[in-house]
Amino acid sequence: MGALPVTSFFAGVLSFLGVYLSIQVILMRRQKRVSHGSGGDEVLQRSMRAFGNF
């Protein structure tokens, strides 16, 4: 297996992970009605940091 198929595979997997994390943050922001920052919510803060550290 060459480098290109391996790279393409991991790029695809990681892109799906990035989309999943961003959707989690978006849905949580809508649920808690927070547009900027975490609004003092620890669960939202953790979700934001998980996406930010990705």
Residue 51 belongs to domain spanning:
21-54
Residue at 14 is within a domain = no
Decide which of 22 and 4 is more confident.
22
Is the confidence at residue 33, as pLDDT, over 90?
Answer: yes
pTM attached to this predicted model: 0.80
Work out how many domains the chain is built from and give that number: 1
Those residues whose C-beta lies under 8 Å from the C-beta of residue 29, and which sit 6 or more positions away, are 35, 44
Q: How confident is the model at residue 39 (pLDDT cuts 50, 70, 90)?
A: confident
Residue at 5 is within a domain = no
Asked if 44 and 37 touch (Cβ cutoff 8 Å), the reply is: no
Residue 38: predicted pLDDT: 86
36 Cα distance to chain centroid: 16
Q: Angle CA(27)–CA(31)–CA(33) in degrees, nearest 5?
A: 110
Asked if 27 and 21 touch (Cβ cutoff 8 Å), the reply is: no
Q: How confident is the model at residue 42 (pLDDT cuts 50, 70, 90)?
A: very high
Residue at 54 is within a domain = yes
Residue at 13 is within a domain = no
